[in-house]
């Protein structure tokens, strides 16, 4: 069997053009590596800094990455997308065009004979009560429909502005505390999971607890980290390709 890859929190489209091009080159080289060595790819939320699908319109600026993902589909790779806090308004573009399996809730799955719990991680922290309420508002079908009535030239810039405010709030919160994430991982291990994979904190973390492993995937803004599973062990690595 080939390898299984996990990434999260790329946030394409969040920064100036120059830094985005560097990020894109790194990501494209990574996806090319997945194409040659992997069987499956799990995107554990927030590939895009903002993504809203209108019925006939998707945000511009992601053509090369979308083509690389479609190439993985054409090669027969298994593609999963676990929605994050910037992915509330996904429709069926990725599933229809690229055969992505979209998971709006945490994923419980078997890879080889190992059981994985995969969750973006938003709303886990105990002090995220306000966000959990906001998530219910954003995922409300009536609110999504009303937003879809706004012209994309207005709706998309507005949503990007809201996204930037969320990011500034996170930055002001200081160094992320993953205590609640570790506690959830321990609970999942007690339920029989072998591996727990999460993101959202933008801080890579690798913890061995007994014979179980908890991984936080970090991000592709500062760390360019990813996890890879070979059928037995799960490793957290840093991607160095494609920077030129």
Within-domain flag for 244: no
End-to-end CA distance of the chain: 32
Q: What is the pLDDT of residues 113-153, one digit of tens each?
A: 999 999 999 888 776 655 556 666 666 677 667 766 777 67
The CATH code of the domain that includes 38 is 3.60.21.10
- Global confidence as pTM: 0.87
pLDDT score at 160:
66
The residue with greater pLDDT, 19 or 154, is 19
pLDDT score at 178:
86
Sequence-separated (6 or more) residues with CB below 8 Å from residue 233: 213
pLDDT score at 171:
52
Q: How far is CA 134 from CA 66, 160, 164, in A?
A: 29, 16, 16
pLDDT score at 244:
46
Residue 112 is part of which domain span? Answer: 3-238
Nearest to 138 by CA among 57, 12, 52, 35: 52
Within-domain flag for 243: no
Q: Please identify which residue in the block is written with the tokens 């993953």.
A: 178
Q: What is the pLDDT of residues 46-96, one digit of tens each?
A: 998 876 666 666 666 789 999 999 999 999 999 999 988 766 667 778 899
The residue with greater pLDDT, 150 or 103, is 103
Task: Count how many domains the chain has.
Answer: 1
Q: What is the pLDDT of residues 3-15, one digit of tens each?
A: 999 999 999 988 7
Rounded mean pLDDT, 208-234: 97
pLDDT score at 2:
84
What token pair was written down for 138?
A: 């954003």
Q: Please identify which residue in the block is written with the tokens 């299984």.
A: 4
Rounded mean pLDDT, 32-48: 96
Q: What is the pLDDT of residues 149-193, one digit of tens each?
A: 777 677 666 666 666 655 555 554 555 678 999 999 999 999 999
The residue with greater pLDDT, 170 or 2, is 2
How far apart are the C-alpha atoms of 200 and 124, rounded to whole Å? 10
């Amino acid at each position: 069997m080939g390898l299984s890859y996990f990434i999260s929190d790329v946030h394409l489209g969040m920064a100036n053009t120059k830094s985005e091009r560097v990020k894109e080159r790194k990501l494209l080289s990574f996806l090319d590596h997945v194409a040659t060595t992997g069987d499956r790819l799990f995107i554990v939320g927030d590939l895009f800094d903002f993504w809203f699908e209108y019925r006939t319109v998707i945000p511009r600026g992601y053509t090369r990455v979308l083509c690389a993902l479609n190439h993985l589909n054409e090669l027969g790779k298994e593609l999963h997308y676990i929605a994050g806090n910037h992915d509330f308004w996904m429709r069926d573009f990725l599933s229809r065009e690229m055969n992505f399996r979209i998971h709006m809730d945490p994923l419980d799955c078997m890879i080889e004979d190992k059981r994985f719990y995969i969750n973006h991680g938003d709303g886990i922290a105990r002090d995220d009560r306000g966000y959990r309420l906001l998530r219910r508002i954003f995922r409300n079908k009536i609110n999504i429909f009303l937003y879809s009535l706004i012209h994309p030239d207005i709706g998309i810039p507005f949503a990007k502005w809201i996204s930037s405010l969320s990011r500034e709030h996170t930055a002001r919160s200081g160094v992320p505390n993953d205590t609640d994430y570790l506690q959830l991982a321990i609970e999942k291990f007690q339920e029989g999971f072998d591996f727990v994979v999460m993101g959202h904190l933008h801080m890579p973390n690798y913890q061995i607890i007994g014979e179980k492993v908890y991984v936080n995937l970090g991000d592709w803004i500062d760390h360019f980290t990813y996890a890879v599973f070979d059928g037995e062990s799960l490793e957290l690595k840093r991607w160095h390709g494609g920077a030129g």
